[in-house]
Amino acid sequence: MTDQLKHKLGVVGTTPIRPDGLEKVTGRAVFADDIHLPRMLHGKVLRSPHAHAKIESIDTRKATALPGVYAVITAADFPEPATAIESLGEGGMVDIKDLADNCIAKKKVFYDGHAVAAVAADNPHIAEHAAGLISVDYEVLEPVMDVKSAMADTAPAIHENFTPGSFFAPTEKAGPNAGRVEFWDGDIDKGFSDAAVIVENEFTTQAVHQGYIESHVTTVMWDSDDRITVWTSSQGHFGIRDQLAGILDIPLSNINIIPLEVGGAFGGKDSVYLDPLAAMLSKKSGRPVKMAMSRNEVLRATGPSSGTHMKVRMGADDKGMLLAADISFAYEAGAFPGGPVAAGILTATTRYNIPNYRLEGFDVILNKPRIKPYRAPGATQSHFAVETVMDELAEKLGMDPIEIRLKNAMKTGDRLVLGFPCPAIGGIELLKAVKNHPHYRAPLDGEKQGRGLAYGFWYGGGGVSSAELSVNADGTVQVCTGSCDLSGTRMTLGMQTAEALGIDVSDVLVKTGDTQSIGYTLPAWGSRTTFATGIACITVAEKVIAKMIERAAAIWAVDIENVSFDSGVFSNGSDPDHSFTFRELAVKNEATGGAISAQATVSPQGVGFQLAAYLVDVEVDTRTGKVTVLRSTLFQDVGKAVHPDYVSGQMQGGVVQGLGWALNEEYVYADDGTLANTTFLDYRMPTALDLPMTETVILETPNPGHPYGVRGAGEASILNPPAAVANAIYDAVGIRMKSLPMSPRAVLEKLLEYGAADL
Amino acid sequence: MSKKHHVTATINGDEIEFLCEPRQSLLEVLRDVLFLTGTKEGCNDGNCGACNVTVDGVLVNACCMLAVEVNGKALETIEGMARNGALHPLQASFLEETGLQCGICTPGFLISSRALLEQHPTPSEEQIRHWLAGNLCRCTGYDRIINAVLKAARKMAKGNDRDRSA
C-alpha cells in the first residue's frame, strides 16, 4: 500500500445516491431550455445552405418589418475582435477571430449550416419565419470535403490567411489548407531494416458527433449598464465567459455565466455558438433572448470529431519486440484550424515502448463544421489504426494478441514520446487482467463469430480549479466549485470533501458557482474534474481543519501542536478525555471566533494517465454484412474509483459511444457539401436494442499525484471499441476492415471483395 | 396569425385549460405554455423519446402530437410520477441503480418504462431493450437503465403479491 493510502478510506469507494438524482427523476432539474424569463424573446438563426460560398449581400429589411420581430443581426453588428488567442483547455488555443467568424459568418460561409444572421421575436415560430425572410446573395464556391483533396497543392485556399494550430502542440503551415506537426526519435530506417515483420496499412474514418441529447440552448440578458448574464448549457462556463468577452469586447467581470444541469457534452460544449448571437440580440432589443438549436442545427453546425486518413507502418523483430513506427495522420479540423491531430498522434503508440518512431500529423481545414473535442479527442481514430496493425503484427508473428502487447507495454518510468518518464501506470496488470478473465478463454460458438482485443492510452488533464468550503453552524458544510457537473462530479467532489473532513457525505452540499461567485476553473474536460477539482476540495478541507485545530487548541487551552486530527476526530494529545468530532467542534465555531470558511485555487500537475483494454465478441452476418456484438468487457485502470458505480457507468457509456463509432455513426455529405443525415433517424446512434451488457473490470493503480490515488475515468472507455470490433470481424470471417463505420454496407462490400459473402 | 384554440385536458389528475395555436406541438405547450418543463426536447422529430408522455394511457412523443389533439384527454407527465411525496418504484430504482448520468433523457425513459410495466409487469431484458429502443441515452450505454427497470419490476411484482394476499 502506498503512503497516500495508509489512511483507510471511509467515503471514497462507496456508492451513495447522487444529490442531483431526485431532481432528475422527478423532472424538476433545471436545464438551459427550462429557463423562462419575463419579457423573454426567442431567437433563431439563418444558416447557410451552401458548404462554401462568398456572401455578396444580406438584406434583412423584410425580417425587420415583420410584426413581432424586435432585432435582426448579422456579423456587421459585432466589433472587430482582437487577434487574441484564448485557451479552450482540451479544445486547444483558439483565435477569437475564427471563433467569432464561426458564430456568425463575415465574408464567407465555410460549411453547410454556418450561421449568417439571427432574429429575435415574440416566439420561436415568428423568429423562424422572419429568419426565412432574410435574403442572402451568395457566390457559391466549390466545396472541399475530404482531407486528401484539401491537402493537394492545387486545392483552393479556404481561408486567405490562417494561424495553424492544434491541441497540445504548435503546427507549421503545410499547403493551402493544412498545418503540420511532427515528433520523432531514434532512427526509423534502421528500425525497419532490423525488423523481421513489417505491417503497413491505411485507414479512413468519418466525422462523428458527440450526440448529447440536450441541444445547445442559451438565454442571455444584456443590461443597460453593459452587464451580461448568461444561462447556458456548457461544460466550462469560465471558458464560455472568456470567449464571449473576446467576441463582444466586454470586460470579463461584466459577464456572469450561470451554470445549469448539462444534458450531455462529451467535449462538444466548451465553445460558444449561440451565446454571442443571443447577447447581441438582447443588446439590440433590450430584452432577454433565448436561443435553442434544433437537432438539424446541432448536427450541421456543431461538434463533430474529425474524419481522418491515417497511414501506419510498424515493424517488430521475430520475438515480437516493436522496433519502429512511422505514422502519418491527416485529421479534419473543419472550417477553422485547431483539430485534435496532435492528441491523435501523441496517443497513437504511447502505451508501447518503440525505440524508433516518426509521428506526423496534419490539421486539415475543409468545408465541414469546426471540429470539437469528443471524449479522448483524436485518440479513438488513432487507436483504430494502430491497434489493428498490432493485431496484424501478432498474426504474422503467430503470437497471441495479448502477448505482443504485454511484451511491448509501457511501464512506470519508461520514456514517453514527449520525453519525460511515464508516471505510475499499470499496463502490465491491466493486460494480465484481460488474459486471466473468463471472457478471454471462453469458447465462441458459431463459425462466423470472432473475438477482438484492443488496448488504449489517454493522457487526461489537470490544471486550474477553484473551490470554497464553508462550515455551517450545525456542522454541515457547503462546497462551491467552478466545475460544471457532467457526470455526477458534485457527488465525487462531495465524497472527497467528506473523506478529508472525516464526516458523512450527506453532511456535504456541493454546488457549481457562477463565474462571478467562484474562482477560475478550467472546463470539465480531460477527465479532470474528479482529479483536479477534487484536489481543490481536499485543499480547502485541509485549510478548514487547520483553522478548527486552532479553535480546539483554544478551547482546551493547549498549543496547536498538541491537537491532532484523524478520521474526523480532533484529539488533545495532553488529555485523552478531550476529543471532538467534526460536528461537535463545528457547532462551537461561532462562539470561538466566528464562522470558518476557506478558498483555494489549485493547479495540480500530477495527472494519472488512463489505460483501458477492451474485449469484444461479434457475429458477422455474411448475407447482410451486419455485425452483432455478442459479448463486451472493458478493463480500465482508474487509479481509485471514488464512486465505483459512476466509474462503471462512465465505462459502459464510453464503450457504447465507441461501438456506435465502430458500427453505425458517420457524417454523410452530398456532393454539394450539404449534410445528408441531420436527424437521429439517419445519424444512427446505438439504442438499447443494439448491444449487450458491457461487463466492467475496474483496476486501481494509484496515481501518486492525487491524495486518494485518483486518475481521470471518463475517457479511456471510448478508445478501443472500433479497433477491437475490426479485429473481431477479422477473427470471425477473415476480412480486415480499414474504414469506419463498419456498417452492414461497408462490411458486405468487403466480404464481396474477399469472396466471403454468402449471397 | 392563427386564432388560438381553447383546450381542456387532465394533466396528472388536474383539469387544465390552455390556449394554443394549432401549429403548437404538445411538447411546446407543456414546456412553454404550462411550464411543465420536466418533459424534455431532444430532437423534436420523434427519434429520441425525451418527450415521452402518455395520453389516455398511450405512450406518445409529445413533439409529434399537436396540443389541440389532447382536448378532453388525460395526460401523464414526469411531474405526476411521484405521488404524495413517494417516488414511483421506477424512479427509486433509477436512483439506486445509477440509471442516469446527465439526466436529460431520464423523464422520457421513466415514462416509457412505466408504460412498459403496465403492459408487461415482468419483462425480460430483451423485452425491455426492445421497448426502450425509442429512447436515446448517450451517457449510460443503457445497461444501468435496463437493470433499474428490471429491479423496479421485481419490486412492483412483490408489492402486487402483497396486495393480493392482503
Query: What's B19's domain CATH number?
Result: 3.10.20.30
A696 touches A634 (CB < 8 A): yes
Name the helix (H) or strand (E) containing A726. Answer: helix A721-733
Cα A648 to Cα A661: distance, rounded to the nearest angstrom: 20
Listing from the earlier edge strand, what are the strands of the sheet with B58-61? B14-20, B5-11, B74-76, B52-55, B58-61
A526 touches A90 (CB < 8 A): yes
Q: Which residues of A touch B31 (CB under 8 A)?
A: 33-34
What amino acid occupies position A446? G
Contact (CB<8Å) A689/B133: yes
Per CATH, domain A3-28+462-602 is 1.10.510.10 = no
> Among B27, B52, B80, which residue terminates a domain?
B80
Span A102-136, pLDDT tens digits: 999 999 999 999 999 999 999 999 999 999 999 99
Contact (CB<8Å) A18/B82: no
Position A166 scores a pLDDT of 58
Same domain, B45 and B72: yes
Position B161 scores a pLDDT of 73
Average pLDDT value for residue range A745-754 = 97
Span A395-432, pLDDT tens digits: 999 999 999 999 999 999 999 888 889 999 999 999 99
Same domain, B61 and B123: no
Average pLDDT value for residue range A255-276 = 97
Same domain, B99 and B140: yes
Span B19-64, pLDDT tens digits: 999 999 999 999 999 999 999 999 999 999 999 999 999 999 999 9
User: CA angle, corner A749, sides to A747 and A751, nearest 5?
Assistant: 70
Q: What are phi and psi of A308, to 5 degrees?
A: -140, 160
Nearest to B87 among A25, A36, A691 (CB): A25
pLDDT over 90 (residue A232): yes
Cα A350 to Cα A410: distance, rounded to the nearest angstrom: 8
Position A400 scores a pLDDT of 97
Q: Give me the residue spans of the domains in chain A.
A: 3-28+462-602, 412-458+607-759
Same domain, B75 and B98: no
pLDDT over 80 (residue B2): no
Domains A3-28+462-602 and A412-458+607-759 equal at CATH topology level:
yes
Position A1 scores a pLDDT of 33
**Binning pLDDT at 50, 70 and 90, where does residue A3 land?**
very low
Instruction: Kindly provide the ipTM of the predicted complex, given to two decimals.
Output: 0.97
Cα A114 to Cα A300: distance, rounded to the nearest angstrom: 8
Same domain, B9 and B35: yes
Cα A691 to Cα A309: distance, rounded to the nearest angstrom: 28
Same domain, B93 and B71: no
Q: Say whether residue B69 is in contact with chain A using an 8 A CB cutoff.
A: no
Cα A583 to Cα A229: distance, rounded to the nearest angstrom: 38
Q: Which of residues 86-105 of B touch A (CB under 8 A)?
A: 87, 91, 94-96, 98, 100-105
Position A88 scores a pLDDT of 61
Residue B162: alpha-carbon gap to chain centroid: 26
Give the minimum alpha-carbon distance from B166 to chain A in angstroms, rounded to a whole number.
30
**What b/e string do you get for A558-584 counting C-beta neighbours within 10 Å, with b at 16 or more?**
beeebbebeebebbbeeeeebbbebbe
Same domain, B70 and B95: no
Nearest to B141 among A295, A646, A694 (CB): A694
Average pLDDT value for residue range B111-127 = 97
Q: Say whether residue A475 is in contact with chain B using an 8 A CB cutoff.
A: no
Contact (CB<8Å) B132/A656: no
Average pLDDT value for residue range A517-529 = 95
Q: Which residue has the cell 470558511?
A: A597
Give me the number of domains chain B comprises. 2
Same domain, B47 and B93: no
**Binning pLDDT at 50, 70 and 90, where does residue A168 land?**
low
Span A360-403, pLDDT tens digits: 999 999 999 999 999 999 999 999 999 999 999 999 999 999 99
Position B125 scores a pLDDT of 97
Contact (CB<8Å) B38/A263: no
Q: For chain A, give the mean pLDDT.
A: 95
Q: What are phi and psi of B110, to 5 degrees?
A: -65, -45
Nearest to A688 among B43, B95, B142 (CB): B142
> What percentage of chain A has pLDDT greater than the value 70?
97
Span A583-612, pLDDT tens digits: 999 999 999 999 999 999 999 999 999 999
Listing from the earlier edge strand, what are the strands of the sheet with A610-620? A449-458, A610-620, A627-637, A694-699
Give the minimum alpha-carbon distance from A555 to chain B in angstroms, rounded to a whole number.
43
Contact (CB<8Å) A25/B100: yes
Nearest alpha-carbon partner for A234 in A572, A452, A483: A483
pLDDT over 90 (residue A8): no
Q: Which domain holds residue B116?
A: 89-165
Cα A10 to Cα A4: distance, rounded to the nearest angstrom: 14
Same domain, B73 and B96: no
pTM of the full structure? 0.97
Same domain, B19 and B57: yes
Q: Which residues of B touch A655 (CB under 8 A)?
A: 141
Q: Which grid coordinates belong to A319?
A: 520475438
Q: Which grid coordinates belong to A423?
A: 508516471
Position A419 scores a pLDDT of 83
Surface-to-core class of residue B124, CB atoms within 10 Å of its CB (0-12 exposed, 13-18 middle, 19+ buried) = exposed
Q: Which grid coordinates belong to A361?
A: 500529423
Same domain, B20 and B74: yes
> Among B80, B102, B121, which residue terminates a domain?
B80
> Among B28, B54, B80, which residue terminates a domain?
B80
Q: Which grid coordinates belong to A120?
A: 429575435
Pick the more confident residue, A1 or A145.
A145
Same domain, B122 and B145: yes
pLDDT over 60 (residue A5): no
Q: Which of residues 185-244 of A touch B (CB under 8 A)?
A: 210-215
Per CATH, domain A412-458+607-759 is 3.40.190.10 = no
Cα A599 to Cα A536: distance, rounded to the nearest angstrom: 9
Cα B28 to Cα B61: distance, rounded to the nearest angstrom: 12
**Binning pLDDT at 50, 70 and 90, where does residue B163 land?**
low
